[in-house]
Amino acid sequence: MRNKRVKYDLETRIGSEQSRRYNFISLRTSALICISLFLCFSFLSCRYSRPDLDDEGIGDKTRDSLTYLYERHYTLNTNLEVVQDSVVLACLPVKDCYNTLYKGDRVVVAEFAVHSTDSVDSIWVKLAHSQEIQGWIGEQEMMQAFVPTDSISQFIYLFSDTHASYFVIIFALFVGAWVFRLFRRKQLKIVYFNDIDSVYPLLLCLLMAFSATVYETMQVFVPETWEHFYFNPTLSPFKVPFILSVFLLSIWLFIIVLLAVLDDLFRQLTPAAAVFYLLGLASCCIFCYFFFILTTQIYIGYIFLVSFFGLFLKRMCATLVIYRYRCGRCGQKLKEKGPCPSCGAINE
């Protein structure tokens, strides 16, 4: 009788394990389908819609302004700020007359001129700093010397600047090495390897990887969409192309998950340990950002993203399904009732 009971328990466990494995495979298959559908929708809806210019009620100046906005992503009365040390404006049609602007000076786009035969630049833009200081500059030179005055645009420029990128990489390597040494010596909590009892830190890294992948996808396939957003930024994920809406939603979700991480972190760790954990988490997020930016350029970033998503599903499945019990004494997660491997208490 006892042998039959043991055999029955063994068959029950085997069936349970097979069921869990099947559920995980189903989750992984569903994830692949969702990602495939996302990529299809992204490429089908990834550009801003062209404005309707056939309305007879639109004036010529407004029609020209909307045309410039769609084709050049900026238009008349767009405010710009100098980011180079100095830039020279030509006082055309007067020859040998120039106005110099310096870093921090602000201008407004006043006029456009197309010179298809010009050897320097086919598009010239008239910028006005004041009634007295105005002049013309080639569009290519203007793009390098000026940024929009909007705070979101300036943050994008600062974050995308080469020197800032190098600084962030060096900072991440330094902090990562420092935290890893402390982890080896004192067994500090660190993302994934010796993590806290929460799926939010790994989800935060996944969201960073996802945002970086979507961002670089726009840079590679639809750079004009990102350029239009750069000159006309918004924090709302509505009334923008689908791929840009997904990117903005991922940013907002990243902020929400970050708040959840902070809540779990300071409830489970001491303030000192929480600070070290945050340093390690910041290093992981920065690493994910640059890793997926670089790998998406050569198209293998999508494979890594799917693998990362599968790893997250596996961890979440282990957290929510496999470890169904907790020790009544120390709170350690348990796969089944019985002695706790942490404190030795018997849980029935």
Q: Are residues 304 and 269 in the same domain?
A: yes
Residue 149 Cα distances to 83, 103, 112, angstroms: 11, 13, 20
User: Do residue 74 and residue 223 come from a single domain?
Assistant: no
Are 117 and 156 members of one domain? no
Q: Strands, E, within 74-163: which ranges?
A: 79-82, 86-90, 98-102, 106-114, 123-128, 134-138, 146-148
Q: 323 in a domain, yes or no?
A: yes
Q: 133-162 pLDDT, tens per residue?
A: 999 999 899 999 999 999 999 999 988 776
pLDDT at residue 23, rounded to an integer: 47
Q: How many helices (H) and strands (E) does the chain have?
A: 10, 11
Query: pTM higher than 0.85, yes or no?
Result: no
| Same-domain pairing of 189 and 269 | yes
Are 158 and 271 found together in one domain?
yes
Q: Both 209 and 253 in a single domain?
A: yes
| pLDDT digits 0-9 by tens, 269-301 | 888 888 888 888 888 888 899 899 999 999 999
Domain final position from 149, 177, 212 = 149
Residue 153: both structure tokens together: 């645009």
Co-location of 108 and 191 in the same domain = no
- Radius of gyration for the alpha carbons in the chain, expressed in angstroms and rounded: 28
The answer to whether residue 265 sits within a structural domain is yes
Last residue of a domain, one of 117, 149, 181: 149
User: Do 129 and 198 share a domain, yes or no?
Assistant: no
Rounded CA-CA distance 249/234 in Å is 12
Among 31-40, 87-96, 171-180, 220-229, the range scoring the smallest mean pLDDT is 31-40
Q: How far is Cα 297 from Cα 287, in angstroms, rounded to an integer?
A: 16
- At position 60, the amino acid (one-letter code) is D
pLDDT in tens, 307-330: 999 988 888 777 666 666 777 767
| Total number of domains in the chain | 2
Residue 179 contacts residue 280 (beta carbons within 8 Å): yes
Condensed to tens digits (0 to 9), the pLDDT of residues 243-277 reads: 899 999 999 999 999 999 998 888 888 888 888 88
Residue at 191: amino acid letter: V
More confident residue, 263 or 19: 263
Q: Give the Å distances, CA to CA, from 207 to 15, 36, 63, 213, 249.
A: 34, 17, 40, 10, 10
Looking at the structure, do residues 215 and 257 belong to the same domain, yes or no? yes
> What residues make up the domain containing 200?
20-46+152-347
- Extract the runs of DSSP E, i.e. beta strands, from the chain: 79-82, 86-90, 98-102, 106-114, 123-128, 134-138, 146-148, 325-326, 333-334, 338-339, 346-347
Does residue 329 sit in the same domain as residue 212? yes
Q: How remote is the C-alpha of 5 from its chain's centroid?
A: 54
Within a domain: 78: yes
| Selected residue with higher pLDDT from 34 and 112 | 112
Indicate whether 8 belongs to any domain. no
Which helix (H) or strand (E) segment holds residue 58: the answer is none
Which pLDDT does position 75 carry in this prediction?
Answer: 82
CB 56 within 8 A of CB 70: no
Residue that is last in its domain, among 91, 115, 149: 149
* Largest separation between any pair of C-alpha atoms in the chain: 107
Which residues are paired to 126 by β-bridges?
111, 136
Q: Which residue has the tokens 């890594």?
A: 304
Residue-level pLDDT at 306: 93
182 CA to centre of own chain? 29
Do 204 and 177 fall into the same domain? yes
pLDDT tens for each residue of 93-102: 777 788 999 9
The CATH number assigned to the domain holding 139 equals 2.30.30
Q: How many CB atoms lie within 10 A of CB 18?
A: 10
Q: How far apart are CA 54 and CA 328, in angstroms?
A: 72
Based on the fold, state whether residues 145 and 156 are members of the same structural domain.
no
